Chains A and B, each alone.
Chain A
Amino acid sequence: MRHPRGAAKLNPLHYELSHLESLEAESVYIFREVAAELEHPVLLFSGGKDSIVLLRLAEKAFRPARFPFPIMHVDTGHNFPEVIEFRDRLIERLGERLIVASVQDSIDKGRVVEERGPRASRNRLQTTTLLDAIAEHGFDAAFGGARRDEERARAKERMFSFRDDFGQWDPKRQRPELWSLYNGRIRRGEHVRVFPISNWTELDVWQYIVAERLAVPSIYLAHPRRVFQRDGMLYAHSPYVELIEGEVPFEASVRYRTVGDMTCTGAVRSGAATLEQVVSEIASTRITERGETRADDRVTEAAMEDRKREGYF
């Protein structure tokens, strides 16, 4: 066997990738695979850190051309205003197309019924809005920012996760994923959720945001806010959450670790005013992001698994 000019002498240690570079290369590959193999993809954007990273990876996959898909935000109407402003600025900078699917519209059309009471949330209603929008636009693939380190059910989900006509996930009927050979074939009416950052951890996401100097919504950094305590978490005092007797709002320095809407996302006490300080706090935390700040995962031990089966993100 012949060897090309001097190739046998290459020192492999000079051709190594850092873990972030490896993860990035894998994610960019997945974006391009989906663009090539499916007809109508869409990128689901929440305004949170994971979907901010998704957008940067999409830039790496397709620039200097435009993205071969639109971006869609499922807006519960209860989002932090800082996040909506951030979203609009970012979309403008990217010059890409944004679709907003509104939970309020789903309520107005009678597709879903608003929950009532102090613990009401539109979190679960989003699933209907999302599935309706996917059907309306004829999307056959939806990129999401879910990570396998987030939660035990997600640890078993594939990069390409198939949904039937009803948007349901069947954990026992997942296709094997071998090497980097993804099989995106679907039937009419089905769609595939694709999670390009499945293998990233929360810390990887933050390290990447710092390395790439990505802008994030201001609520990720410590800021003074009126909050109240419920179930061991700090909630923003907002028009969307009714107080229960005995709950008294007070001001604290907080930041958000995840961005859901105001009804289900808790803040953590923090003085971390820069991204570097946030990374160092995340690196030393002893509690998971979902355990610390997400009411939606606390309902039952299998809360995420149940919502995923129904077609949640």
Chain B
Amino acid sequence: MPGPASNGHAIPRARTSELLRFATAGSVDDGKSTLIGRLLHDSKAIFDDQLEQVAQTSERRGDGYLNLALLTDGLRAEREQGITIDVAYRYFQTRRRKFIIADTPGHEQYTRNMVTGASTADLSVVLVDARKGVSEQTRRHAYIASLLRIPHLVVCVNKMDLVGYDEAAFDAIVEELTDWTARLDIPDITFIPISALRGDNVVDRSESMAWYGGAPLLYHLEHVVIAPDRNLAEIRFPVQWVIRPIGDEYHDYRAYAGQVAGGVLRPGSEVLVLPSGLRTRIAALESFAEEIDTAFPTMSVTVRLADELDISRGDMLVEPDDPPCAARELDAMICWMSDQPLAPGRRYAIKHTTRTARAIVDELEHRVDVNALGHEPADRLALNEIGRVRLRCSAPLMVDRYRRNRTTGSFILIDEASNDTVGAGMVVGAR
């Protein structure tokens, strides 16, 4: 077993290709499907038979052009009605990166879908129609991106061809949205003037907008730095599954399996076990029964400990000097996703990392008015509404504030009668 001495420094790892997950959002007619179709098409992620299908459908519908939006309309109802129903996932790659797009529709169920897509995203692409300027939905997108703490926001001002590639039209939108987002907490925001239909500044630099000094969208997606966005400072390892093989050779073998949610684990690292509060050391880290010398987000590994302790799913191994709060009372922002409204006094199941408990809504502190960024009093949260609540839990949950760790700061609420996932929560405070 490698001792602590050999793990005093990190070994640089040669990496060929990273994964970037991004969410796209837009209103019905601002050309989001066309933009994604364009990205897939121009990066050559579209196969000939898919293109052929699109050509045939465009022809039959009488679109009069190769309708790239059809590439992403998955279900029959969507193709017939020309709308997008649900979150869809798309994949493409360039020589630099692999991309997963969470494509969220802009009309009904809009907050619910966008929050879902945004929850796993490193970056969000928001579209604005250059002719119409900043809309209510644009503001909503930016707000949700900041609420879900997507570290990078890209605003594509689309349909620049329809405003004569006018720099002033672009600048006006940049200025208006910059003023508005100054009130939000968005670490990195980039504006790109594009025409998805004509391909300006999507993959290749536009010749019609020489005044724009920045990079085209694809270049930006390939180069944006996402490595520092994770929390590497504080160990957070929610125990997911206990591995106890049968057989004499594994007589005393006991390992804790899970996905690292924060920090860098090494053999020899001290850890605190919550909720028991016992301290121990990491004896070995394993992956597929082989020893490894470091584990960090988002690796799935197994941990063997120096002491025999009673640890099970739902417990968490954490940084002893900086543990999360083992809390029964949570203050949280909630996005509501059910037709049955959230109201004070209601009870739900709460799932946080690998631990599930029950929670009662003690108080609905306010509802968020997304347009004015104000708070308003409310006695319930309806579908697609966002508000701040106080929850009381049946068992302690090991939480961090969401802004510090997106994994240990998030939870879902489940309706125990219907089994539906009804709410998405982000911890802002805990006791």
Contact = CB atoms under 8 A, between A and B. Distances in A.
B75 A305 contact: yes
A64 interface: yes
A61 B322 contact: no
A292 B258 CA distance: 39
B115 A13 contact: no
Interface in A267-290: 285-288
B119 interface: yes
A15 B10 contact: yes
Interface stretch (A78-86, A178-186, A237-245): A178-186
B74 interface: yes
Given A155-B89, A179-B120, A198-B89, A288 B49 contact: yes
B240 A33 contact: yes
Contacts of B257: 32, 61
A211 B297 CA distance: 21
A12 interface: yes
Interface stretch (B130-138, B192-200, B413-421): B413-421
B91 A149 contact: yes
B22 interface: no
A312 to B, nearest CB: 15
A28 B53 CA distance: 35
B66 interface: no
A1 B319 CA distance: 13
Contacts of A36: 240-241, 313, 354
A153 B86 CA distance: 11
Given A171-B75, A185-B419, A178 B424 contact: yes
Give the residue among B234, B241, B313, B414 with the most A Cβ atoms within 10 A: B241
Contact of A16 (B15, B240, B258, B337): B15
A24 interface: yes
A214 interface: no
Contacts of B211: none
Interface stretch (A2-10, A106-114, A131-139): A2-10
A148 interface: yes
B116 interface: yes
B75 A181 contact: no
B98 interface: yes
Interface string A7-23: 11011111111110111
Interface in B227-251: 227-228, 230, 232-235, 240-241, 243-246, 250
Contacts of B296: 15
A302 B79 CA distance: 10
B47 to A, nearest CB: 4
Interface in A130-160: 148-149, 152-153, 155-156
B75 A32 contact: no
A187 interface: yes
Question: Which size class do B's interface residues fall under?
Answer: 35 or more
Interface in B211-235: 227-228, 230, 232-235
Contact of B233 (A4, A14, A153): A4
A200 B337 CA distance: 28
A13 B227 contact: yes
B343 interface: no
Give the residue among A10, A24, A32, A176 with the most B Cβ atoms within 10 A: A176
B167 to A, nearest CB: 36
Contacts of A18: 15-18
A183 B250 contact: no
Contacts of B90: 155
A198 B97 CA distance: 18
B232 A176 contact: no
Nearest to A304: B74
Contacts of B19: 17, 19, 22-23
B360 interface: no
A301 interface: yes
Interface residues of A, number: 70
Give the residue among B90, B233, B234, B246 with the most A Cβ atoms within 10 A: B233
A160 to B, nearest CB: 10
Contacts of B321: 2, 4
A178 B220 CA distance: 26
Nearest to B9: A14
Interface stretch (B201-209, B368-376, B404-412): B404-412
Contacts of A286: 47-48
B298 interface: yes
Contacts of B322: 1-4
Contacts of B340: none
A26 B75 contact: no
Interface in A64-83: 64-66
A19 B47 contact: no
A29 interface: yes
Interface in B78-102: 79, 85-91, 93, 97-98, 100
B98 to A, nearest CB: 4
Contacts of B319: 4
A291 B50 contact: yes
Contacts of B115: 176, 178
B288 A59 contact: yes
A28 B406 contact: no
Given A15-B227, A29-B259, A148 B15 contact: no
Nearest to B90: A155
B299 interface: yes
B11 interface: yes
A176 B240 contact: no
A213 interface: no
B76 A14 contact: no
A60 B288 CA distance: 4
Contacts of A62: 241, 243
Contact of A183 (B75, B245, B264, B421): B421
B289 A64 contact: yes
Contacts of B419: 183, 185-187
A120 interface: no
A199 interface: yes
Given A10-B264, A302-B76, 5 more contacts: A16-B18, A19-B98, A65-B250, A176-B116, A183-B412
Top 3 A-B residue pairs of the complex, sorted by shortest distance between their CB atoms: A291-B49, A28-B300, A152-B74
30 contacts: A2-B322, A4-B263, A4-B322, A7-B264, A10-B232, A10-B264, A12-B232, A15-B230, A15-B232, A16-B15, A18-B17, A19-B97, A25-B259, A25-B299, A29-B258, A36-B241, A59-B288, A152-B75, A155-B89, A174-B86, A176-B424, A178-B421, A180-B120, A186-B419, A204-B98, A287-B47, A288-B49, A301-B79, A302-B75, A305-B75
